[in-house]
A and B are shown apart, each in its own frame.
Chain A
Amino acid sequence: MIKIKNLHARVEEKEILKGINLEIKPGEVHAIMGPNGSGKSTLSNVIAGREDYKVTGGSIDFEGADLLDLDPEERAHKGIFLSFQYPIEIPGVTVSNFIKTAINETRKGRGEEPMDAREMLSKMREKSALLEMDKSYLSRSLNEGFSGGEKKRNEIFQMAMLEPKLAILDETDSGLDIDALRIVANGVNKLRNANNAVLVITHYQRLLDHIEPDFVHVLYNGKIVKSGDKNLAIELEAKGYDWIKEENV
């Protein structure tokens, strides 16, 4: 589905990604772990198309298309979704208006008809129920005054509405209480099928108990320095990152 080859990226004058290689196939769940500042969010932002990050080398192929040629909205139309580590507050735009707009613009981008209002409404009901969100969220300004956990839950609500092919969850677990973590993880699992994929970025094994990864990668200093199965996450939880850092001096 997505093939990242030797990806280099910088922000301002600082090189942050220093040759990332990663392939994710349909149906798979990949997890990326790694110390603070190693480049995890940078990688997810580069995939989503944030313009502050300059790609200086390498390629990203998404279902045969050169992703680096596309605007963020075009990437979204192709089915890429990023759940933000720090969702942005947008005063004056309600959650429901936002999501309606996002869905219909995505459909337009794909040459499809807008979703009919009834279907939209029932889908919103269904997905907010799935995430056990109070209906009142829908008429509130996007993320404005939301608690940390509410913001994350709202990200997954958007994911559920947009049904992406590749969902990148950047520390979606941080800020969630134990029940919320279960609800959100359950929401993500419900959306999984043989044709989509998930890239989970997390610091904790806990989330991976709920969303079981096929592969776990360690990102350190702008590179994937180790890959393994779900046992790697368990090992990291027990041993920390020092041994990885030592292997990579």
Chain B
Amino acid sequence: MTNLAQDLLSSFVVREPQLNGGRNLSIAALRKEALDRFELTGFPSTKDEEWKYTNLKPVLKHDYKILLKSDDAVAFSDIKQFLLSDLDTYKLVFINGKYSSWLSETTHSEFDICTFASALNKYPDTIAEYLGKAAPKGETFVDLNTAFADDGAFIRIKNNQTVDKPIEVLYLTTEENGPSFSQVRNLIIVGQNAEVQIVERHQNLGSTVNFTNFVSEIFAAQDSRVSYYKIQNDVTHASLVDNTHVLQERQSNVHVGTYSFGGKLVRNNLHFYSAGEHCESHMDGVTIIGDGQTVDHHTLVDHQEPNCYSRELYKGIYLGKGHGIFNGKVIVRQKAQKTNAFQQNDNILLSNKAHIDAKPQLEIFADDVRCSHGCTIGQLDKNALFYLRSRGIPKSEAQGLMTYAFASDALEYVKVPQLATRLNLVIADKLGINLEFAL
């Protein structure tokens, strides 16, 4: 067992009484059971099939602080650049895993856009009803998070409500605690025929290492529409395990876009469960990383009911010694006839030291389905490069233009125009091209 695992187990004893959910017996039991499971398994190693290509050792070895303090020194001017500018949004800002009321803009009027901690107090029954119902028991990081997490975003949209503006959730880490290990949790409950857009970001503001174990559960009721965008553009001493679990009821439409441009190690466990007919599940993303960075996309679409559609499109561009992993699993249960599942993962390696491990996994138990999957790994097309150069566009710009075009393909479903512009800017910047090419 790693030191960190031991520290976590012993700190639970100190922590448990303070965990708000402790007041609700069923939540307290959930936490304890989750901790017990963690105690048995510990952190996964590369011997574990699901972690074969992603070695956690280098990020778990630090002497992380587990019980974290917030940081009063963070001002709006420090975080402005991480928010969407020129756009009115609801804001939930957390510093070292603690809610920061002075940087946030919440509401309880027509819908609840507030915090997990306050929901534990105010709506313990709702929490007990939903907590852990989308995220599966037995996944180490989920269990660990279930045991500890006491804050994060709580978003509850009532039936037939459309949230009037996007919600931004910002998770910040500062140097206040030295190396820090934080565990935060979202609970997002979207009622029937309701609609919401969420933009989320984790950001380390300091120079000390941090590790975030994050769980987000999304419950999309019948006919609801959810857009959930994840911006992962952190510094190279920040690591993140993002466990996002989406439970969809009939005719709901959920899109999760993951834009990974940075971080030391980012692992995305993104799972969709279509538990009603005619669901649409969209997941797409752009990954652009280089030296000292690993991004691992582990996705799962579990088609449990007939007539559902899933679309998965991930684009990866790897520079320097960047390391990408893509493991896309699609399960079509026996009952799920007429499933239409599309999966495509395209990668470009811009350096011969970069590498990608890619694996599609299809488990199909129904016979009347349409499933397609494709995976490409390549360099830029030489003929196309020559074509652009022959028109006077220098090699580096031509490469940038082509990779930009390759990547921006996966931004088609971004519904918030300001976010789309922002992402285009980041991509152009990462590829070192001038924006005249891009816009």
Q: Which 9 A-B pairs have the closest CB atoms?
A: A92-B405, A106-B392, A76-B392, A72-B389, A102-B391, A88-B387, A73-B389, A93-B405, A73-B394
B window 402-437: CB within 8 A of A: 402, 404-406, 408-409, 436-437
B268 to chain A minimum Cβ distance, whole angstroms, is 24
CB distance B408 to A92 under 8 Å?
A: yes
The total of Cβ contacts below 8 Å across the A-B interface reads 81
CB distance A90 to B405 under 8 Å?
A: yes
Closest A residue to B397 using CB positions: A105
Please name 16 pairs of A and B residues whose Cβ atoms are closer than 8 Å in the assembled complex, sorted by A: A48-B386, A49-B389, A71-B395, A81-B390, A82-B390, A88-B384, A91-B406, A91-B409, A92-B404, A100-B436, A102-B391, A105-B397, A106-B392, A141-B405, A158-B391, A162-B392
A245 to chain B minimum Cβ distance, whole angstroms, is 31
A window 180-229: CB within 8 A of B: none
| A97 on interface, CB distance cutoff 8 Å | yes
- A183 and B315 CA atoms in complex are apart in Å by 41
B401 to chain A minimum Cβ distance, whole angstroms, is 6
| A101 on interface, CB distance cutoff 8 Å | yes
| B388 on interface, CB distance cutoff 8 Å | yes
A51 to chain B minimum Cβ distance, whole angstroms, is 7
Closest A residue to B433 using CB positions: A101
**Given contact pairs A84-B387, A90-B405, A109-B392, a sample of 6 additional A-B residue pairs in the complex whose CB atoms are under 8 Å apart:** A52-B382, A73-B394, A88-B383, A93-B405, A103-B392, A158-B391
| B393 on interface, CB distance cutoff 8 Å | yes
Interface size on A, residues (CB 8 A): 34
CB distance B389 to A98 under 8 Å?
A: no
A150 to chain B minimum Cβ distance, whole angstroms, is 16
- A162 and B393 CA atoms in complex are apart in Å by 12
CB distance B409 to A162 under 8 Å?
A: no
Closest A residue to B408 using CB positions: A92
CB distance B384 to A90 under 8 Å?
A: yes
| A77 on interface, CB distance cutoff 8 Å | yes
A window 79-123: CB within 8 A of B: 81-82, 84, 87-93, 97-98, 100-106, 109
Closest A residue to B393 using CB positions: A105
Interface size class of B (residues with CB under 8 A): 20 to 34
Contacts of A50 in B (CB 8 A): 386, 390
A92-B409, A93-B405 are contacts. A76–B390 as well, Cβ < 8 Å? yes
Contacts of B401 in A (CB 8 A): 93, 98, 101
Q: Is the interface of B mostly helix, strand, loop or mixed?
A: helix
Mask of B34-67 contacts with A, CB within 8 angstroms, 1/0: 0000000000000000000000000000000000
- A87 and B386 CA atoms in complex are apart in Å by 11
B167 to chain A minimum Cβ distance, whole angstroms, is 30
Contacts of A49 in B (CB 8 A): 389-390
Contacts of A103 in B (CB 8 A): 392
- A162 and B390 CA atoms in complex are apart in Å by 11
CB distance B390 to A105 under 8 Å?
A: no
CB distance A90 to B402 under 8 Å?
A: yes
- A134 and B406 CA atoms in complex are apart in Å by 26
A window 132-159: CB within 8 A of B: 141, 158
- A38 and B381 CA atoms in complex are apart in Å by 26
- A82 and B392 CA atoms in complex are apart in Å by 11
CB distance A105 to B394 under 8 Å?
A: yes
Interface centre among B395, B405, B406, B436 (most CB of A within 10 A): B405
CB distance B405 to A48 under 8 Å?
A: no
CB distance A77 to B392 under 8 Å?
A: yes
CB distance B437 to A101 under 8 Å?
A: yes
Closest A residue to B382 using CB positions: A52
Which of A73, A84, A92 touches B392 (beta carbons < 8 Å)? A73
- A210 and B392 CA atoms in complex are apart in Å by 28
Contacts of B395 in A (CB 8 A): 71, 73
Closest B residue to A77 using CB positions: B392
Contacts of B406 in A (CB 8 A): 91-92
CB distance A105 to B405 under 8 Å?
A: no
B410 to chain A minimum Cβ distance, whole angstroms, is 10
CB distance B387 to A90 under 8 Å?
A: yes
Contacts of A109 in B (CB 8 A): 392, 394
